[in-house]
Structure 1
Amino acid sequence: MLHGEISCSIILFTVGFSCLVVFVMFSFVLFCDMQEPEFSVTNAFLAQFTFDTATDQNLHYNLTLDITIRNPNKRVGIEYRDIQATAMCGYQTFALLSLGGGILAPFYQGHENTTVLHNLLVQGKQFEEAKICKCKSETVAGVYSIDLQLALRVKARYGMSIKGRSNKVGILCNLLVPLTTFGTSIDGNGGEYCFNTTKCFNTKNFFLENS
């Protein structure tokens, strides 16, 4: 009887230990193979970027963006939420867009998947005279230097039910956007200028920082 109990205990221990080893190996492969998603701005249309002719103190802007997000991971999906977009010119913020509450609801991106956020509109009126001098000096050629910053929360999903922690991350896109008139992008010399797809880079590591 005692011998049978010992044999049963050994079997249970062996099975449990084997399961633990498999779980650790699976977790190691999963986490070590994890890659950060890739962000890029594939299209940018600047229909308006002008200052008041009377006061020369306010900027009127109308910017439309297509942002492409690629998840290169083979086994990991990603949840995105609380996305905010900030547009800057001459190191001054001229637009803040919260991509939530109906504009862009939280979404899930599966493994090895590409998601395109189409026609994100940034428009309005902003700036005071003291803040626009630097921006003016960078836009005399008709091609506007605009920094797009994205702040968002991401959460990794492993399989159907296992989720990682929610992390706050930042993305920066340094854009050169020509003013678009009647469907044609014009440079400072009256010639055509096309927007080039711009790859963004991460300012905070994905999946590593807790918040």
Structure 2
Amino acid sequence: MGDHQKIHPVVVDVEAQPTLPLVPHGSSSSSEKGILSQNRPPPLRHTIPVIESSKHPPKKRISCCKCICCSITLLFLLIFSLVITGVILCLIFQPKLPKYSVDRLKISDLSLNFDMSLYAKFNVKITATNPNEKIGIYYEKGSRLSVWYSNTRLCQGTLPKFYQGHRNTTVLNVVLTGQTQYGNTLITALQEQQQTGRIPLDLKVDVPVSIELGRLKLRKVRILGTCLLIVDSLSANNLISIKASTCKFRLGL
């Protein structure tokens, strides 16, 4: 056999290329031109889809954004107004915290019960001073005063409800009573501490008050505080000497 030649088949798309009659160059007549024009396939037309772009966001999204912006603006204006009002009131009334002092402490009873609980009754003299010239103080119901020793509450009581005017000093005599479990252990610890001549006691204060600015009565706030007292003894029916007293007070909501 001689040189082998590879023959590749040619695939002709009959539908894509319609068969046309062969006409020699330069010899086409008018009739033949007519036949060619009739057999020529029509031009292809492609339809291009048009995508409409939305230039504006949905109405719901716009309204939601406006609502959030308005809420933030109103909140900012409210906070700003409250701050400005507070500054103006402070400049006009110049508020000061009231002052308190424990002037006397007397134990009416400190004894063990049959169930080994400790019963205590204290009489406390407290002086409350309102140093403000334009602010009155209403002492409301729900106050709590308590005396503690080593994280154990000995007794508790309440302040009376009263009004304290401008630059007024009021002396209060408060009776505190209480009953504590494990009295035997507690009375032993108190007797050992009494031998040193320095017994630490904590007087805790929680008093709801309403502030009066001129003729305006504001909402209730709370006066919270602690007085650390150092006394020489806890003998019943004896006047106890207060060797040291340190008080700290603040306003709470």
When normalised by structure 1's length, the TM-score is: 0.65
Structure 1 position 201 matched with structure 2 position 252: no
The residue number in structure 2 matching 1:9 is none
SS at match of 1:36: coil
User: Residue by residue, what CA displacement relative to the aligned partner does 1:75-101 show, whole Å, maximum 9, x if unpaired?
Assistant: 1111112211112111111223234xx
Q: Distance in 2 between matches of 1:98 and 1:24?
A: 31
Structure 1 position 128 matched with structure 2 position 189: no
1:166 offset after TM fit, Å? 0.8
The residue number in structure 2 matching 1:13 is none
Name structure 2 gaps, 5 residues minimum: 1-84
User: Residue by residue, what CA displacement relative to the aligned partner does 1:51-82 show, whole Å, maximum 9, x if unpaired?
Assistant: 46x87x32232211001111111111111122
Q: Which has the larger radius of gyration?
A: 2
SS at match of 1:138: helix
Aligned-residue sequence identity (percent) comes to 22
Within 5 Å, give how 1:88-103 maps onto structure 2.
88-99=148-159
Structure with the bigger RCO (C-alpha within 8 Å, sep 6+) is 1
Structure 1 position 44 matched with structure 2 position 99: no
Counterpart pick for 1:170 among 224, 238, 242? 224
Q: Distance in 2 between matches of 1:184 and 1:72?
A: 30
**Contact 1:41 / 1:199 at 8 angstroms: preserved in 2?**
no
Within 5 Å, give how 1:18-167 maps onto structure 2.
27-31=89-93, 33-51=94-112, 57-81=116-140, 82-99=142-159, 104=160, 106-118=161-173, 120-128=174-182, 132=186, 135=190, 137-141=192-196, 143-159=198-214, 161-167=215-221
Q: How many residues align?
A: 166
Change (3 A) 1:168 1:124: closer
Q: Distance in 2 between matches of 1:48 and 1:25?
A: 50
Q: Distance in 2 between matches of 1:24 and 1:147?
A: 34
The residue number in structure 2 matching 1:191 is none
SS at match of 1:116: strand
Q: Distance in 2 between matches of 1:43 and 1:113?
A: 20
Q: Distance in 1 between matches of 2:86 and 2:183?
A: 60
**Contact 1:78 / 1:156 at 8 angstroms: preserved in 2?**
yes
**Contact 2:208 / 2:220 at 8 angstroms: preserved in 1?**
yes
Name structure 1 gaps, 5 residues minimum: 1-22, 186-193
More strand by share: 1
